[in-house]
Each structure stands twice: as structure tokens, then as C-alpha cells.
Structure 1
Amino acid sequence: MAQKEYTANFEKVLLHCVAQPDPMLSMLEWLCEELMEAEISQKVGASKHEQEKERSTHRSGYRPRRFDTRMGTMYLMVPKVRNGGYIPFFVSERKRSEAALVQVIQEAFVQGVSTRKMNKLAKSLGIDNLSHSQVSAMAKGLDEQVQEFRSRRLDDSTYPVLWVDALYEKIRYDGRIISMAVLLVCGVDETGKRHILAIEPMLEESKQSYTQLFENLKERGLKTPSLVVSDAHKGLVTAISESFPGTAWQRCKVHFMRNILAHIPHKDKESFAAQLKQIWMAPTVEEAHQRAEQLVHKYEKRFPEAIQILENGLEDSLQFFCFSKLDARKISSTNMLERLNREIRRRTNVVGIFPSKDSYIRLVTTYLMEYEEEWSVSRSYISQLAIQQTLQTNAA
């Protein structure tokens, strides 16, 4: 009886798909939905609407996700869970040709490659029959995803810690090839998960450009953070203080050390750097000050310029001690962004000179969207308990 009922239901599905403009794509979409339902039920420990005491978490609605295949593009409603995150296995484990398809379109579209050449590239991956309309449709889809990601609302979460940095890329602008600043902002939410909050191209790093960046974030719903970590660019530091009154600023210790070591002779660099590093490895802020004083007394006559820079910027580089619950290694520098920037450069090197700032933003944002998705199902970057304790302390 059960077998007959299942067969009858399946026939209804087939008849529904056959009536659609693209029956095979419709069938694939139905199959993906069934696979997600089975996978999410296993992850939660209970089927939909089932009351189960042994369940590991709960469902929490759905989120739309574009999924490109050789049959075409479909928009899936991916189930969300309260704890742990969820990415369908067929998205994270799809075949190389499927994963490469979007990447080929992205990079070829960015470089203004002809449809004929794009077909040649695609065929090298075992993908046939790329038409101009398909290329245009996917390019349009990319732009829509990029715009949605870059303009999404930030009201739903609090981001107590932000990291801000800039990298430079060669971009064709107004008929010239220039080195354009691309400003990147990452943050951790109240659960300790990392998020990419902004990717903005600017003609220069200045107070005005950074103020515009922060005002755009505030318009999207960003609440005032507790701590911002960055280098000591004057325009950036001023924009932070004016845009986020009451927010602490942590000067990146790595950039700070580089600034100091630039005034140390090469033969003394290794020894001096080893001693300098000990300041930020101190267990307390008092001990850090003591180590700094010892270094000043030892080298103020030999390296006066380096010591002057150390004395002027020391306090700003020790602000992380005020957030004792948070991992000092992660909030004392912009290393997290430095690693991300290296990965961006590794991928953008295949392009070289971008034909426009829009082409750069299109390609990089799609990569960063992938990182954000991976972060959503990985371990918290900073302990959730530590974040909650910090938020409570600041609210008191």
C-alpha cells in the first residue's frame, strides 16, 4: 500500500515538472529540495513538525540561494538552523566542472573575453554550449548577487569588533591605469562568527573616503562597535573617532612594529624585533609598559627615531588589554584581514589589470561571499561567551 502511495505521489511530481517550461531543471530543483529536507532532518535529529526530545537543534526558516548548474540556474530555499549553520552537501561538494563554471564566467566576463573564447575555456572543463545569452544572464545574476550582498541590512546583529584595512589593485579608470584603494571591513557578531561587512573601491585613502564608508555602514544598520582594529592611517583614525564616538581604537601591533623597525639598521633588526615583540606578549598592561620602558632606556640613544615612534604610539597599540575576555592574538592586529587580502591577491593575479572598478568588485565579492558562507558553518572566530561578557561589560 505504501509503495503504491509513493508511486502515485511521484507521478504527480513528474506531471507537475513536465508542465513546466524546463521540465528537467524543474525535476532537478525538486530533487535538490528533497535532498536538503532529508539532510536537514538528519542534522536536526527530527523531521519537519516532529516533536523529538533528542533533537540537536531547531529549524529557523529559510534563505534563498542561487545554484548554477549545466542544466540552468535555479533558486533554492535552503533551510536554516539555530546553531551550527547548514550548507547542502551538493553545493559544497559539487563537481569540479560545476564549481569552475561560475568561476570561468566570472573571470572571463571580468576580462571582457569574447563569447567564442569563453566557449573554448568552458570546453576545456567539459562544459559545452555556452551561448551569448547564457553568458549575459549569468553576468547579470552575478551583479544582482554582488549588489544584494554589499547592500544587505545589518540591523539583525551586533558587531562588537571591526577590522578595517585597504589593499590596492591596478584598475583601468577614466582611460588610465591607476592603483585604486579597496577598503575592506570585517566584523564578528554576538556569536563570535566572522562577517564581511563592506568592500568599497575608493580613489584614495582619506578621511573623507573612510567617513563615507562608515556612514554607509551605519545607514545599513550597523550599531556602534566596541573596538575597531586598523593601522594608523591618519584619515582612518580620524574617521573612526568621528563616526563612532566612544569606540576604542586598537592600533595594529604588526603595522606598528613595521613602522618602528623601518628605523633600525638591518644588522640590528632581528635582535631589536625579538625584544620589541615581548611588549605585546606581556600578561598584563602594566608588564607591557615596563618592558617598553626597558627597551626605551636601552636604545633611546642608538635609535632615537624608532624609540620616538614607539613612545608616541604605544598606548594605542595596547588597547586590547582593555578587552581581557577576548583573544588578544585576534584583536591586537589586522592579521585576519592580512590573510584574507593575500587570498584575494592570489585570485586576482590571474586578471592583472582590471578593466573597471566594477569588474574588480564583481569578482572579489563573489569570492568573499564564498568565504562568508564557509565561516557561517565553521567554529566561531572568537568565543561566543567572551563576546557576550564583553557586551555586558560595555553595557554596564
Structure 2
Amino acid sequence: MSDPIVTFDEAAMRGELRELVRQTVEDTPNALLEEEAGDLIEADRYERTVEREACRAGHCERGLTAASGQIALKVPKLKGMRFATAIVERCRRRETSVEEAMIEMYLAGVPARRIEDVSEILWGASVSAAAASNLNGKAFEAVEGWRSRPLTRSCPHVFVDGIYLKRSWGGAFENVAVMAAIGANGDGCREVIGAAEGLAESSECWREFLSRPKGRGLSGARMLAGDKAAAMAGAVAEVLPDAAYRRCAVHFCRNVLSKVPKSKRGQAAAMLKAIHSQESLEASMEKASDVAAKLDGMRLAAAAKCVRDGIAETLTYTRFPMRHWRRIRTNNAIERLNREIRRRTRVVGTFPDGKSALMLVAARPKYVADSERGSRRYLDVSLLDE
């Protein structure tokens, strides 16, 4: 005779354990509330003493969303004395950990509707529109405090760039610029220096944007990297005169290849790559001169002129240690951040005002900076002192 088969319902067991944890969490604060009420009236339930100053008058039930689920609190009501408990704040409907989790989900890019669904699944309670608005207000305060924080560490390498998004401006929907800056600080880690909004990437907007980090303590900037924008280069020379300006090598190559026919782009790309494969600034400049001459021989005068005009500012990275070249000759550090911002803002489409746009744009860099990416070493800054 075969042995009996034992079956195990894993889903039912998990449900029972979840309910056991929830019931335990519910019983603990209720017991504490009863103890606190007893200490106030100096008597236990149904006890008659001369010293008591109040008596019990039932309970007031309140719902509280905890990490273990929805629990029911039975707050004692006292006759002759006001009961103000220190265990649960007045009008609080969610644990602090639950609110922090919702804010982190919002900063991580989860849409508000999805947060409502997730809260229903995890904690058994949905989030109303008013509660979501209050949480967004707390998130904005945290983001605004992060944006205005003092910069205590020097940043030898700074990467800046701007992207565009749609928002309501003066009664019409306009494309507005969002400027971001990220730097390699004294520890060699990437640090988001700032993010701000402007009407356009004009000289005035770039000047104001770069002046804010400097006023918050930005120091030690030796090189500022960006694309070829005359307004940006002029603002860098004015606000950070000691920092050298470097044009992104990828943007430079794209500009040159845009003036080359498709049939010859492969050959031209290999020639441009050889410029950045040299061992020194002098060798790279000599190779660039040879490449320009070859492009002239291929009847690509426009591409040759682009190489001669833009190679000097593109090779600024060769002034620094060779082990830094691969990291600092392109704008990959900030392009990755821009991609995160675009991914988060694309789901919104058009923003109603500047506050909502700036909060969502700045919230994404804050989340990236607080994650492992912000603590990972990007450069060996000690090489700059050799």
C-alpha cells in the first residue's frame, strides 16, 4: 500500500502568515494605547479609585496603513480628560515607512496611477488624490532641499548639457530647456551638481545656471565639457574662467560625418577615430592635420574645414592624465542622466507649470545620485596631483 501523499498549499500558508503578522502588529499599538489611557486616568478598566480624574467612554476606531497591511486602531475615549496619544500622530493614516516607500516609488519614476495600484496590492489600501498631492508636496520639499544643498567637495571635471520638454508658459505650450550638470568630485564619484529650467539655452540662462553651483560652493573645476554651443562656451569663460572648455568628441565626429556622403562615412569615421587614438596632444593635432588633408583630397572640403575648426577644443582632454581620457573625452556621464530624465518626462507629455516640471526633472537625478551609481568610483582623481 502506497504512503499517503501530503499536499502543501503554499499560497494559503503565505496568507495565514501575512494575517498573523498583521494581527500581531494591530494588537501591539492597541495594547500600548490602553496602557497609555490607564496611566492618564491612574486606574485600570472598571476600577474605581478616589484619585482618578476621568473615566473611559468607549473607543474611536481609526484605520492605519502599516507595512504589514491595513490595521484598525482602537483609540480610547476619555470623559473628563482629553486623550492625546504619542503612539500615533493625530490624523495620520499611514506609517512613515509606507509614505517614504510611496515617495521613493514616485521619485523612481512610477506613475501616480501605478502607485495607487501597488499600494492596494501591498498594503490593502488605496491612495486618494488628496493623499497623493500631499505626498508630492513632501517629495518636492525633499527635492528642493537637495537642489539647494551646499557643495562641499571640489569637482575637477564637470559635464553640462541641456534637453527640451514641453510645458505651459505664458498661456501657451512651449519647448523649454532643462539644464543639468554632473561632476566627478574629489572622491572620484559622480555627483549631480544641479538641475534648473530656462526658456532657452541662451547665454543668460547658462550664466545663471552655472552661477548657482558656484554660489553653493562649487570649486576646483579644471575642465567643463559640453556640446558646441556658443552661449555655453561664453558663459563658462565668464563664470568659471579657470576651467578649460571641452567639446564632446562624439558630437564633433557626428558634425563631421554629417558633411560626408554615406558611401564614404565608414572611411571617414575610421580616420576620425585615429585622431583620438594618439598618445599626446601634439600627435593628435598632427594626425588631425593629415585627416583634413585627406578629406580635401576626397573632395570633402566642408568636412575638412569642420575638422580644422573644431579639433582644438575637442582635444582639451589630452591636458589631463591619460587614464582619464576614456572617461572625459565624451559626454557619456551626463548623456546617461539625460536619458533617465527623458524616460521619466516622456510619460507626462506636457507639464502644466514650471514647478511640476522642475520637480519631476530634479527628482530623477536625485534618485540616481542616491543609488549605487552615485557611490561608484568613476575616476581616480589622485592622478591630477601627480
Fold shared by both chains (TM-score > 0.5): yes
Letter matched to residue 134 of structure 1: A
The 3-state SS of whatever aligns with 1:318 is helix
Give the one of 352, 357, 380 matched to 2:354. Answer: 357
- Once residues 18 and 203 of structure 1 are traced to their aligned partners in structure 2, the CA distance between those partners, rounded to angstroms, is 60
Residue aligning to 2:337: 340
Residue aligning to 2:14: none
- Following superposition, the deviation at residue 126 of structure 1 comes to 6.4
Say if 2:156 and 2:183, in contact at 8 Å, map to a contact too.
yes
Give the one of 67, 73, 94 matched to 1:71. Answer: 94
- Following superposition, the deviation at residue 306 of structure 1 comes to 1.4
Residue aligning to 1:222: 218
Say if 1:182 and 1:202, in contact at 8 Å, map to a contact too.
yes
Is 1:258 paired with 2:281? Answer: no
Q: Deviations over 1:195-235 (max 9, x none)?
A: 11111111011111111011111111111401111112001
- Once residues 34 and 198 of structure 2 are traced to their aligned partners in structure 1, the CA distance between those partners, rounded to angstroms, is 48
Say if 1:70 and 1:98, in contact at 8 Å, map to a contact too.
no
- Residue pairs, 1:1-396, within 5 angstroms: 71-73=94-96, 100=105, 107-108=111-112, 123=120, 128-154=125-151, 156-301=152-297, 302-324=299-321, 326-375=323-372, 378-383=375-380, 387-390=381-384, 392=385
- Once residues 17 and 140 of structure 1 are traced to their aligned partners in structure 2, the CA distance between those partners, rounded to angstroms, is 34
- Following superposition, the deviation at residue 305 of structure 1 comes to 1.4
The 3-state SS of whatever aligns with 1:177 is strand
Residue aligning to 1:5: none
- Once residues 251 and 241 of structure 1 are traced to their aligned partners in structure 2, the CA distance between those partners, rounded to angstroms, is 14
Say if 1:181 and 1:201, in contact at 8 Å, map to a contact too.
yes
Q: Deviations over 1:332-386 (max 9, x none)?
A: 1111111221222122221122222221221222222111012466430112xxx
Going from structure 1 to structure 2, the CA distance change for 1:287 and 1:19 (only over 3 Å counts) comes to farther
Q: How many residues align?
A: 310
Q: Deviations over 1:297-347 (max 9, x none)?
A: 111251111111111111111111110155211111111111221222122
Going from structure 1 to structure 2, the CA distance change for 1:253 and 1:101 (only over 3 Å counts) comes to closer
Say if 1:229 and 1:334, in contact at 8 Å, map to a contact too.
yes
Structure 2 portions without partners, runs of 5+: 1-27, 38-61, 69-91
Say if 2:64 and 2:93, in contact at 8 Å, map to a contact too.
no
- Once residues 164 and 98 of structure 1 are traced to their aligned partners in structure 2, the CA distance between those partners, rounded to angstroms, is 28
Say if 1:252 and 1:317, in contact at 8 Å, map to a contact too.
yes
Going from structure 1 to structure 2, the CA distance change for 1:377 and 1:199 (only over 3 Å counts) comes to closer
TM-score (norm 1): 0.69
- Following superposition, the deviation at residue 72 of structure 1 comes to 2.9
- Once residues 131 and 303 of structure 1 are traced to their aligned partners in structure 2, the CA distance between those partners, rounded to angstroms, is 63
TM-score (norm 2): 0.71
Say if 1:230 and 1:252, in contact at 8 Å, map to a contact too.
yes
Say if 1:166 and 1:181, in contact at 8 Å, map to a contact too.
yes
Give me the CA root mean square deviation: 3.5
